[in-house]
Structure 1
Amino acid sequence: MALENTDSKQLKRVLKPLHLWAIAVGLVISGEYFGWNFGWNVSGTVGFLIATVIVTVMYVTFIFSYTELTTSIPHAGGAFAYAYRAMGPFGGLIAGYATLVDFLIATPAIAFSLGGYLHFLHPAIGVIPSAMAFNAIFIILNIYGVKESATFSVFITILAVIELLLFMGVVGPHFKMDNFLTDAMPFGWSGVFAALPFAVWFYLAIEGVAMVAEEVDNPRRNIPRGYIYALGTLVILAFGVMILTGGVADWHKLSSIAYPLPEAISLVLGKGSGLTQLFASIGLFGLIASIHGTIIASSRQVYAMARSGYLPRPLANVSERFKTPHWAIIAGGAISFAALYIYQKQLDQIIILSVLGAVTMYMMSMISLFVIRHKEPKLERPFAAIFYPVFPAIALLIAVICLIAIVYYNLQLSLIFFAGLAIALAIFMLMGKHKTKIMDDEMLYAS
């Protein structure tokens, strides 16, 4: 069947390698600013360090495997498209649902932390009202245009990276190993497993670059570059920030707040220090980069699933003026507003729920890679998975371990996640979607 060529369905191919690096790092970099520190509460500093090493191995092996799928099937649906191609309608639905939870729930978590940073600077400003305002502002920016918003991503992400390097430079001289090793593993090895979802938060959403694959100029060359440069940047920042922060003072004081980095500097220099205030101010950049990126990624997932008939079709409409999926962006924003209201005092719960979606999606993606390798051995693969089948097998195994750990330590949240999946599957079957084949121009639109 001939591919459609209408303004209502096509996205513009305008993104370059620098844009992809910025989107990938921008999606994730808020994980260095907040959220990971909750892992100290359940594992201690050394326990969390071990958890982070395990998760870093998962992400390295995952990205060098996932990139094969992203470049071979450059579709805005990401894992949804890969799982559909590998396992059919049910596989696509499970992967799509998991990806939606991953990105749609990450957005309000980042908005919440933005509100927390602003509250640190100006205590009179409420966390939730400012979080809602940030959410609205970036919905509007993303409707305006992907090239414009991606250019903004480059600028804001570079500032965020510079700030984290500045943070390490400021607190580094004050690092004391005694602080870091105090109460290092209070819960033993069980704490390491409990901390896994918070270690995932260091890197969660890097896979979001797949959601803009249809907007990348020469995706088969540029997507691998974007992923590899971004992953290297994030590994350095994650370990640097975590280790240095854990050694500047009593880490217990930083293990349950939404703004650990400015608080760490305040413990070293004093809250009234001009440098402390400056850091908290520009700290907003890292969080802004991530909320901006997660809105891009989540809206493209909604768009792709709607275009394929898995969500209401109007969500696949593209703005004639801006060439962006405006209704998908607005729908994702509505979910973000709702999550902010429901979980406004439970930031750690929002993070865990988002991570549940992420690790489920990672599992489905690696299974898809194995299946597609078997089903389509002649598929053009511009970037073949490195050390196949070892790397994807390692990524799959660690993702399974993460999922088991999350379910064991967070049973209630896990029941919510899987109940949502069960409802989605029931509606899917009642509507007969499992019997409807997605047309090539919908699923293989960019192949």
Structure 2
Amino acid sequence: MSKNANSQIDGVARSTQAENDYFAKRQLKQGAVGWVLLIGLGVAYVISGDFAGWNFGLAQGGWGGMFVATIVVAIMYLCMCLSMSEMATMLPTAGGGYSFARTAFGPLGGYLTGTAILIEYAIAPAAIAVFIGAYCESLFGIGGWMVYLACYIVFIAIHLKGAGEALKIMFIITAIACIALGVFIVAMIPHFDSKNLFDIAVGNQVGASSFLPYGYVGIWAAVPYAIWFFLAVEGVPLAAEEAKDPAKSLPRGLIGSMLILATFAILILFLGPGAAGADALKDSGAPLVDALASVYGANSWLASFVNFVGLAGLIASFFSIIYAYSRQIFALSRAGYLPKKLSLTNNNKAPYLALIVPGIIGFLLSLTGEGDLLILMAVFGATVSYVLMMASHIKLRLSRPDLARPYRTPGGIFTSGIALGLALLAVIAGLMVDPKVWFMAAGIYVVLILYFVIFSRHHLVSGTPEEEFAQIEAAADELN
């Protein structure tokens, strides 16, 4: 064999070894999560929205505006979960929505989707930390930055122990939170009075009435807070590389958690304001506790129980969304879209820098104490990603009908089309509520896009699941 040939073979061997070394340091723990844990994960992502945040929608649209917004948003999320179930079984990787858009629209489409999701998941824990602080202030008289910092340190530390252990703890915390919601629902039923739903003073906006005290525009303005009832349930596919039998477990996790969340949302929206009054809850930092206190007294055991156990709901979402942002960053970093060091994993197969770095940023954001404004910023990222993910479903159905789909979306592109249209309206709704906050979030998004255009698009890594799938599809196209 010639020296030239030997050097070429050595070069290939070195390249292959370097690639193997690269991915060896970026491995997640496979088979750690079954479908029951995935349902728990989906509920955990969102359950904090039942305890705080949703009620700010009452201040924007009154009870009627919030009710209509919640129904519309629930339809959007159900259609989206059905569509994502199909894509998740086609592409079971840790990238989730980024992977779907990467396959449908190429590297730029994948990056735009992944970073929009990242904005959602990085900012949502900061908002939840603020609500945890409010609950702790009510219960223990201690809140503020010390509580925020403790949350980030303790729960990031648990995640560093590995996915299986972290998600089992999360599942227990979520179950406790569900018990608290059950107690609240049962306690409110005897005191429900439909008149309490409509006790907000009627304004002079177009269409204003006791049902819509702020008029038709109030429905639009309530949409971002209705989204808080469901925000982040779409993160279930981020566990794909750690799931057992993803083709079956991912659809079960997405659809099962969505049905549970929709049931809780409707019951809480009716019974909370229906017992305590919509006006009393519209600005509350701990609406379930305040609702019980108004009915049973501030020192009642029910109010104390839901306050104490209600912390579990906020903690469950905080805990699980930390998992979500770390996996999204892991996938983007592993593929070279973000700095590659962020995808390094420890001995427990946990992406430690992807956990710690966003945690520092989230803690700094939580210091603003503006939970309602942080919700709007998180919703911006979420709704933009929903538009891109649903467009990906439609594109893949039309351009790649031959791809293996272990689960197929009922209704096909009609279902994802409904979700796409409603997601576009939701993006606009966020702009209507607070243009300043919307443009702040959009500014963060622009900075991330510029990073891709200037730097990361020149440093993408081959061999990731998303890139390998794209190469296989390109080769198939050439053969055809």
Coarse TM-score class (shorter-chain normalised): over 0.9
Matched, 1:324 2:362: no
1:171: Cα distance to partner? 1.1
Aligned pairs (5 A) from 1:143-154: 143-154=160-171
Q: 2:457 aligns with which of 424, 434, 443?
A: 434
- Match in the other structure for 1:50: 68
Task: Determine helix, strand or coil for the equivalent of 1:248.
Answer: helix
Q: Deviations over 1:243-280 (max 9, x none)?
A: 10011123222111221001110011101112211221
Task: Determine helix, strand or coil for the equivalent of 2:120.
Answer: helix
Aligned pairs (5 A) from 1:192-231: 192-231=219-258
Aligned pairs (5 A) from 1:87-126: 87-123=105-141, 125-126=142-143
Q: Distance in 1 between matches of 2:438 and 2:454?
A: 24
The question of whether the paired residues in 2 share the 8 Å contact of 1:42 and 1:187 is answered with: yes
- Match in the other structure for 2:205: none
Matched, 1:374 2:392: no
TM-score by length of 2: 0.89
The question of whether the paired residues in 1 share the 8 Å contact of 2:89 and 2:246 is answered with: yes
The residue type equivalent to 1:266 in the other structure is A
1:127: Cα distance to partner? 2.8
- Match in the other structure for 2:12: none
Q: Distance in 1 between matches of 2:245 and 2:300?
A: 48
1:8: Cα distance to partner? 1.4
- Match in the other structure for 1:164: 181
Task: Determine helix, strand or coil for the equivalent of 2:160.
Answer: helix
How much identity, in percent, do the aligned residues show? 32
Q: Distance in 1 between matches of 2:130 and 2:442?
A: 24
1:425: Cα distance to partner? 2.0
Q: Gaps spanning 5+ residues in structure 1: where?
A: none
Q: Gaps spanning 5+ residues in structure 2: where?
A: 1-14, 201-210, 471-480
- Match in the other structure for 2:359: 333
Deviates more, 1:109-118 or 1:372-381: 372-381
The question of whether the paired residues in 2 share the 8 Å contact of 1:307 and 1:442 is answered with: no
The question of whether the paired residues in 2 share the 8 Å contact of 1:71 and 1:382 is answered with: yes
The question of whether the paired residues in 2 share the 8 Å contact of 1:249 and 1:264 is answered with: yes
TM-score by length of 1: 0.95
- Match in the other structure for 2:449: 425
- Match in the other structure for 2:269: 242
1:288: Cα distance to partner? 1.1
The residue type equivalent to 1:213 in the other structure is A
The residue type equivalent to 1:424 in the other structure is L
The question of whether the paired residues in 1 share the 8 Å contact of 2:33 and 2:243 is answered with: yes
Q: Distance in 1 between matches of 2:352 and 2:457?
A: 27
The question of whether the paired residues in 1 share the 8 Å contact of 2:123 and 2:362 is answered with: yes
Q: 1:189 aligns with which of 201, 216, 232?
A: 216
Q: Distance in 2 between matches of 1:164 and 1:409?
A: 28
Q: 1:171 to 1:127 in 2, by over 3 A?
A: farther
Q: Distance in 2 between matches of 1:231 and 1:363?
A: 19
- Match in the other structure for 1:356: 380
**Would you say how many aligned residue pairs link Structure 1 and Structure 2?**
442
Q: Distance in 2 between matches of 1:410 and 1:97?
A: 22
The question of whether the paired residues in 2 share the 8 Å contact of 1:7 and 1:318 is answered with: no
The question of whether the paired residues in 1 share the 8 Å contact of 2:393 and 2:413 is answered with: no
Q: Distance in 1 between matches of 2:185 and 2:273?
A: 12
Matched, 1:388 2:412: yes
- Match in the other structure for 1:67: 85
Task: Determine helix, strand or coil for the equivalent of 2:247.
Answer: helix
Q: Distance in 2 between matches of 1:101 and 1:51?
A: 23
Q: Deviations over 1:367-413 (max 9, x none)?
A: 11112223322211111111012110000000001111211332111
Task: State the structure with more CA Rg.
Answer: 2
Task: Determine helix, strand or coil for the equivalent of 2:216.
Answer: helix
Q: Distance in 1 between matches of 2:120 and 2:444?
A: 13
Q: Distance in 2 between matches of 1:250 and 1:203?
A: 23
The question of whether the paired residues in 2 share the 8 Å contact of 1:38 and 1:255 is answered with: yes
1:161: Cα distance to partner? 1.1
Q: Distance in 2 between matches of 1:149 and 1:446?
A: 30
The residue type equivalent to 1:420 in the other structure is I
Q: Distance in 1 between matches of 2:450 and 2:197?
A: 49
Q: 1:409 aligns with which of 409, 433, 437?
A: 433
The residue type equivalent to 1:323 in the other structure is K
The question of whether the paired residues in 2 share the 8 Å contact of 1:34 and 1:113 is answered with: yes
- Match in the other structure for 2:306: 279
Q: 1:193 to 1:399 in 2, by over 3 A?
A: same
Q: Distance in 2 between matches of 1:91 and 1:409?
A: 27
Task: Determine helix, strand or coil for the equivalent of 2:464.
Answer: helix
Deviates more, 1:367-376 or 1:353-362: 367-376
Q: Distance in 2 between matches of 1:446 and 1:327?
A: 26
1:111: Cα distance to partner? 1.2
Q: 1:260 aligns with which of 287, 307, 330?
A: 287
The residue type equivalent to 1:439 in the other structure is S
1:92: Cα distance to partner? 1.4
- Match in the other structure for 2:57: 39
The residue type equivalent to 1:160 in the other structure is A
Q: 1:377 to 1:337 in 2, by over 3 A?
A: same
The question of whether the paired residues in 2 share the 8 Å contact of 1:21 and 1:226 is answered with: yes
